[in-house]
Amino acid sequence: MSALGESPEKLKQAKINLAVSISRFFRDRQIWKILESRILPLLMTREDPVLKVWSTGCSSGEEVYSLRLLWDVVQKRMGNAKDLQIWATDINPTMLARARAGVYPPGSLKDIPQEWQSAYFSLIPDGKRAVRDFLKSGIHWDLRNVWEEEPPNECFDLVFMRNHVLTYAREEFRGPVLAGIVERLRSHGYLVIGAHEKLPASFPSLLPDFENPMILQKIEQPP
């Protein structure tokens, strides 16, 4: 038996080490432009008073705060006061601690317009930027392994799955894991994947967006 097989703690640490942590605000800028111009305004018009989002493999939080920032921008533009709740999960406790702190080097903010940097970040003495406290509201940070644990017990309007959540899972696990994620997605909700995320082939309920195939909408299939 291998050393990993003999030690659950070593196996757990190996899985954490294999997880890819990708950091930068507004990574894959076209996705965020589509969210800003079309998808977030559409979600704001729905009847539910709260928009629920799940960021799987949230890493050190840049994706989560990018969405929270963009939501504030679009909300002010539309004059809409709908609440936003984000469930941010990751397998790595170190990354989650960094995400909660919300402190980043200047290079992580390079894709953020200067006026947004001034409005949503404060400059701290070591030259880093700290997310302003109001952007942290409505975020639920959670240590969770989506390969082995159930998704959060919520129905989501939008799910981000961009940090190789499925890429490194074995083929026989991908279908069941994705099925669990899609089950938590509301009808006509959106799944956003990464450019290198490997999805199982047979999910006819997920239709690629006409502007970007990394954005998929859940369409209920007839019985």
Q: Tens digits of per-residue pLDDT, 151-200? A: 999 999 999 998 777 776 677 778 888 899 999 999 999 999 988 887 77
3-class secondary structure, 4: helix
CATH number where 41 lies: 3.40.50.150
**Domain assignment of residue 90, yes or no:** yes
Distance CA 22, CA 59 (A): 7
* Closest alpha carbon to 135 in 99, 109, 89: 99
**Domain assignment of residue 18, yes or no:** no
Identify whether the C-beta of residue 178 lies closer than 8 Å to the C-beta of residue 170: no
**Domain assignment of residue 133, yes or no:** yes
Specify the amino acid at residue 148.
E
**Domain assignment of residue 7, yes or no:** no
**Domain assignment of residue 81, yes or no:** yes
Distance CA 63, CA 10 (A): 29
**Domain assignment of residue 6, yes or no:** no
pLDDT at 223: 59
Please name every residue paired with 206 in a beta bridge, in sequence order, or none if there are none.
218
**Domain assignment of residue 16, yes or no:** no
* Closest alpha carbon to 213 in 195, 198, 199: 195
Distance CA 172, CA 166 (A): 11
**Domain assignment of residue 10, yes or no:** no
Q: Tens digits of per-residue pLDDT, 12-45? A: 444 444 444 557 899 999 999 999 999 999 999 9
**Total domains present in the chain:** 1
Write out the residue range of the structural domain in which residue 27 sits: 23-218
Distance CA 74, CA 33 (A): 11
